[in-house]
């Protein structure tokens, strides 16, 4: 059984294992450059061949190459799609742009990153790019992946509560056996906790796993099914029926459990912007942004939303599509809390916490050609890169929160969409 201290202890273990993180962050922040960077990514509001060529050349010079994204190579290996899709007929083309450089100060992600976003929504990349530029001038966004876990929550039905109680008393001492079953079914999954939720004569067991560098939904499904098969074959108290998923785990849903647990990776990100940066780059004031944040938070509470943020789904969904994540996981990954505060000297402090980042750098769609190239652009392809990728996700989302709050606080929102987002026929 889990207790309230379990997740806290895992967070403490993170800070113990990352003992140098505070000093690294302090050193990076002390290097914050209040002048414009000498090197700038070639941005443009309109789409031109010349501008496109300039951006490709710029990234090529940094050792980044995109044979499939640019169309120089054509995908033909349709047999490799087995496990990704059924009834295949072809590829959907989604325009892909780049935000950057996004400067991240994390335990795994450190430095400038060029972040690919696949979207057909005009103004989206321009908005995120502005937030990235402002935060880079401020010394970067601190972004830390604190804790991780992926769940599957089977449900067991009994004749009465008495049977349920006997079943539960038999199940809980079996956790070491469950860990052994997990290790037999997967090289990467590790069972770290089992939690229970009783409702009358129904019992939900939540199995909490870590899944290495994969997002892990399929992995935890297979492991949990094997555990459940062992349970129903060996328990002295047989359930009337059981189902592998009770709809309690939060898979592809925004749920009230988001802030009491973790699903995927929990990332928290922060940045402090000077008065000068807020006024010259975001073209507003810290007070106006804080006033907007406070009013919009009251509005989102009244709407019944889970979490309180501006448009996290915009950036995450575009990044998920570009990098081969499960785009439907945006429903849970976009749950978050954005906060803004005034600082001394009329500066701005902003932070964002995302508790449900279901992301991976191996498996799923990450090996598809353009998706692989997009991950390679951020040096996030393959094993050992998922926590780094999650920290970039958090930093990107916060950059987007800065920009949209600035636009709405200064009355720029409509004009920006008129400029970038209207399709001319």
Residues annotated as catalytic (active site), given as ranges: 121, 326, 417
Q: How far apart are CA 397 and CA 311, in angstroms?
A: 8
Terminal-to-terminal C-alpha distance of the chain: 60
Question: At which residue do the structure tokens 């100060």 appear?
Answer: 105
Q: How far apart are CA 379 and CA 301, in angstroms?
A: 38
Question: At which residue do the structure tokens 């990107």 appear?
Answer: 396
DSSP three-state, residue 196: strand
Sign of CA dihedral 396, 398, 404, 407: negative
DSSP three-state, residue 306: coil
DSSP H or E run through 46: none
User: Can you give the length of the chain in residues?
Assistant: 425
Q: How far apart are CA 187 and CA 168, in angstroms?
A: 28
Of 328, 336, 308, 346, nearest to 393 by C-alpha is 336
CB 204 within 8 A of CB 158: no
> CA separation (Å) from 214 to 25, 166, 367?
28, 36, 12
Q: How far apart are CA 314 and CA 210, in angstroms?
A: 27
Q: How far apart are CA 167 and CA 172, in angstroms?
A: 9
The DSSP code sequence of 359-390 is --SBSTTTTSHHHHHHHHHTT--STT-HHHHH
Structure tokens at 330: 């945006």
Of 409, 415, 397, nearest to 141 by C-alpha is 397
Q: What's the DSSP call for residue 209?
A: E
Q: How far apart are CA 227 and CA 200, in angstroms?
A: 23
Q: How far apart are CA 292 and CA 409, in angstroms?
A: 6
């Amino acid at each position: 059984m889990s207790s309230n201290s379990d997740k806290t202890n895992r967070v403490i273990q993170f800070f113990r294992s990352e003992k140098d993180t505070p000093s690294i962050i302090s050193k990076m922040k002390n290097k914050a450059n209040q002048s414009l960077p000498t090197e700038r990514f070639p941005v443009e509001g309109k789409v031109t061949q010349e501008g496109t060529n300039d951006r490709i050349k710029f990234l090529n010079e940094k050792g980044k190459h995109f044979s499939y994204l640019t169309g120089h190579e054509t995908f033909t290996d349709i047999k490799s799609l087995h496990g990704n899709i059924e009834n295949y007929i072809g590829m959907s083309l989604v325009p892909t742009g780049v935000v950057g450089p996004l400067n991240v100060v994390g335990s795994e992600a450190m430095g400038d990153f060029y972040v690919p976003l696949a979207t057909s929504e005009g103004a989206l990349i321009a908005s995120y790019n502005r937030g990235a530029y402002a935060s880079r001038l401020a010394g970067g966004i601190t972004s830390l992946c604190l804790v991780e876990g992926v769940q599957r929550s089977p449900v067991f039905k009994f004749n009465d509560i008495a049977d349920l109680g006997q079943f539960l008393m038999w199940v809980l001492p079996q956790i070491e056996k469950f860990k052994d079953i997990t290790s037999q079914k997967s090289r990467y999954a590790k069972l770290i906790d089992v939690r229970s939720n009783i409702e009358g004569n129904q019992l939900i067991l939540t199995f909490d796993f870590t899944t290495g560098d994969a997002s892990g939904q399929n992995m935890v499904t297979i492991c949990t099914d094997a555990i459940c098969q062992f349970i129903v074959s060996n328990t002295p108290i047989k359930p009337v029926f059981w189902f592998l998923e009770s709809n309690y785990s939060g898979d592809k849903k925004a749920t009230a459990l988001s802030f009491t647990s973790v699903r995927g990776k929990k990332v928290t990100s922060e940045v402090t912007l000077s008065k000068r940066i807020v006024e010259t780059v975001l073209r507003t004031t810290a007070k106006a942004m804080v006033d907007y944040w406070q009013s919009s938070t009251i509005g989102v509470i009244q709407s019944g939303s889970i979490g309180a943020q501006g448009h996290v789904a915009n950036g995450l969904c575009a990044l998920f599509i570009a990098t081969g994540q499960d785009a439907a996981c945006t429903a849970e990954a976009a749950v978050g809390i954005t906060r803004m505060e005034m600082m001394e000297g009329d500066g701005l402090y902003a932070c964002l916490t995302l508790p449900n980042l279901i992301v991976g750098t191996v498996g799923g769609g990450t090996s598809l050609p353009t998706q692989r190239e997009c991950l390679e652009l951020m040096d996030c392809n393959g094993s050992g890169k998922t926590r780094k990728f999650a920290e970039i996700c958090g930093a990107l989302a916060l950059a987007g929160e800065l920009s949209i709050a600035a636009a709405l606080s200064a009355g720029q929102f409509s004009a920006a969409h008129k400029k970038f987002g209207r399709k001319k026929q």
